[in-house]
Amino acid sequence: MNDERKKLMPELLPKPQTAIPSTSVRQRVLKHLNLLIAAGATTATLACQPYGVVDPLPPPAKCRTTGSVLDVLNVLAFTDTSGVTVRIWIESEEVRLLRIMDVTGAVAAQAELDTGQPWIHLIPDSPAATITLKLATECAGMPAAAVRIVLTPGAGDSGMEGHTVTLSDESP
């Protein structure tokens, strides 16, 4: 090949023109910036949409795994002329109260543990006696940690005579 044949051709460029003659450079830049902001907002919105996960989170720990039934029990103690009545509300169908294992500071006069709202009627040893109950429990047919209920005599929230209730777990 001959090098004489390789020559640059004269470059013909179009005559420069304004893109949109009625708008200024500033207006065109702002319009372009607004388009970029809108595109970024759309991308961020689409990226933040909730997606289903392959492995969902496990359910919260319940008495089956923790062995404790305290999170599903609500206990109130009412003082009357014949003694103290302890009412227990169970917020799970898996939990059952089996029996009274131990009572100190009182005598268990009557008890209904197999009903929908279990209750225990106690006759205190003295008006100032601290009463401790230990109840055997079951969760989903398996033994769970025993519940210890401590009733401390004193003024209730309303200023009337009553008992302060404290719940804790004991080993089964």
pLDDT in tens, 136-150: 998 888 888 899 999
pLDDT of residue 59: 67
Third-level CATH fold of 63-170:
Immunoglobulin-like (2.60.40)
Euclidean distance between CA atoms 44 and 23, whole angstroms: 30
What is the model's pTM? 0.61
CB neighbour list of residue 146: distance below 8 Å, 6 or more residues apart: 101, 134, 135, 136, 137, 169, 170, 171, 172
More confident residue, 24 or 64: 24
Confidence of residue 120 (pLDDT cuts 50, 70, 90): very high
pLDDT of residue 171: 61
Confidence of residue 170 (pLDDT cuts 50, 70, 90): confident
pLDDT in tens, 80-115: 888 999 999 998 888 899 999 999 999 999 999 987
3-state secondary structure of 90: strand
CB neighbour list of residue 8: distance below 8 Å, 6 or more residues apart: none
pLDDT of residue 159: 47
- What is the domain partition of the chain in residue ranges? 63-170
Mean pLDDT of 50-75: 74
